[in-house]
Amino acid sequence: MTTILSLSGVNKHFGALTVADNVAFDLPEGQALGIIGPNGAGKSTLFNLIGGALSPSSGAIFFEGRDVTRKSAAERCRMGIARSFQIPHPFTGMSVYENLLVAAAFGAPGSGGGREVCAEILERTGLMGEANRPAGSLTLLERKRLELARALASGPKLLLLDEIAGGLTEAECHDLVETVCGIRDAGVSIIWIEHVVHALTAVVERLIVIDFGRIVADGKPAAVMADPLVQEIYMGIAVDDETA
Ligand SMILES: Nc1ncnc2c1ncn2[C@@H]1O[C@H](COP(=O)(O)OP(=O)(O)OP(=O)(O)O)[C@@H](O)[C@H]1O
């Protein structure tokens, strides 16, 4: 299977703080990978490193076999890496549709966006009825959908989703999961950071756990979630408590 993304010995330090500690993994093309870990573990930093907002202190990142370690976020976006942010920041004065057109203009040439593609993305993300509304007037769910739609409009081969399910109701979360499954089934590779674990495991086939910037577990979701070490560091269930 072709590897779309490869991280090799990636380290990131902020002064004395290590937030990525020798991170290494390969993502096969078309795979949906979930990333979980406690607050402050370094998950968003990892996205910043993959997306190009930050450069690693050492190590290398390859996308489709090309070394992108020193490429800018804009260059990586044109190559096909798109990202949604934990806190959506749309162009609030522009309509939903215009927001997509802007994203398409900065994305991968030829694969994202013409007007027809943007219209199709509005449909897929449940925003067609909101196309002409100012983005600033959207609800939280609609903003999260727009964040996803903007990332799709750039024509990604790899989609990085940062906590898109947080703050949603069960029903909204279910709808969002359906949408992400549709994107996955269309062949887009996905890495999704999420605290809402049941939403994540409904979509991903592989789970990585990060703690203090290190990968501490990597495997099938059920096996990873059953790992006593993961239960202890992520869910606060001490191994001894369970056996007591
Ligand atoms: N630019 C920066 N300068 C200094 N420290 C930073 C910077 N960005 C992040 N950090 C620190 O790095 C650590 C990891 O932050 P990061 O946002 O990657 O964690 P996270 O796992 O995404 O957390 P959360 O689940 O709360 O979003 C935190 O201690 C954070 O305060």
Give alpha helix (H) positions in the chain. Answer: 43-51, 73-79, 96-106, 115-124, 140-153, 170-185, 197-201, 221-226, 228-235, 239-243
| Interval between CA 39 and ligand 1 midpoint (Å) | 8
Q: How far apart are CA 21 and CA 124, in angstroms?
A: 37
What's the confidence (pLDDT) of residue 4? 97
| Interval between CA 122 and ligand 1 midpoint (Å) | 32
Locate the ligand 1 atom nearest the alpha carbon of residue 42 and give its number.
Answer: 18
Closest among 101, 98, 54 to 76, alpha carbons compared: 54
DSSP state of 174: H
Average pLDDT, the chain: 89
Q: Return the residue whose CA atom lies nearest to atom 8 of ligand 1.
A: 45
What's the confidence (pLDDT) of residue 242? 44
Each residue's pLDDT tens digit, 15-65: 999 999 999 999 999 999 999 999 999 999 999 999 999 999 999 999 999
Ligand 1 pocket mutation, candidates 13, 18, 19, 55, criterion most atoms within 8 A of CB: 19
Parallel, antiparallel or unpaired: strands 158-162 and 32-36: unpaired
DSSP state of 94: S
| Interval between CA 51 and ligand 1 midpoint (Å) | 15
Q: How far apart are CA 200 and CA 75, in angstroms?
A: 28
Query: Please, is 158 exposed, middle or buried when counting C-beta atoms within 10 Å of its C-beta (0-12, 13-18, 19+)?
Result: buried
SS3 content of the chain, % helix, strand, coil (to 5): 40, 25, 35
Q: How far apart are CA 16 and CA 71, in angstroms?
A: 25
What HEC string does 105-141 produce? Answer: HHCCCCCCCCHHHHHHHHHHCCCHHHCCCEHHHCCHH
What's the confidence (pLDDT) of residue 88? 74
Taking the CA atoms of 86, 80, 112 and 187 in sequence, report the sign of the dihedral they define: negative
pLDDT in tens, the chain (244 residues): 799 999 999 999 999 999 999 999 999 999 999 999 999 999 999 999 999 999 999 999 999 999 999 999 999 999 999 988 777 788 889 999 999 988 888 776 665 457 778 888 999 898 999 999 999 999 988 998 999 999 998 889 999 999 988 888 898 889 889 999 999 999 999 999 998 999 999 999 999 999 999 999 999 999 999 999 888 887 665 545 444 3
What's the confidence (pLDDT) of residue 89? 81
* ipTM metric: 0.94
Q: What are the tokens at 228?
A: 């006593």
Q: How far apart are CA 190 and CA 38, in angstroms?
A: 21
Locate the ligand 1 atom nearest the alpha carbon of residue 48 and give its number.
Answer: 18
Q: Is the distance from CB of 203 to CB of 179 less than 8 angstroms? A: no
Domains, the chain, with CATH or none: 3-80+157-243 (3.40.50.300), 90-156 (no CATH)
What's the confidence (pLDDT) of residue 108? 67
| Interval between CA 124 and ligand 1 midpoint (Å) | 32
CB 37 near ligand 1, within 6 Å? yes
Q: What are the tokens at 55?
A: 């450069």
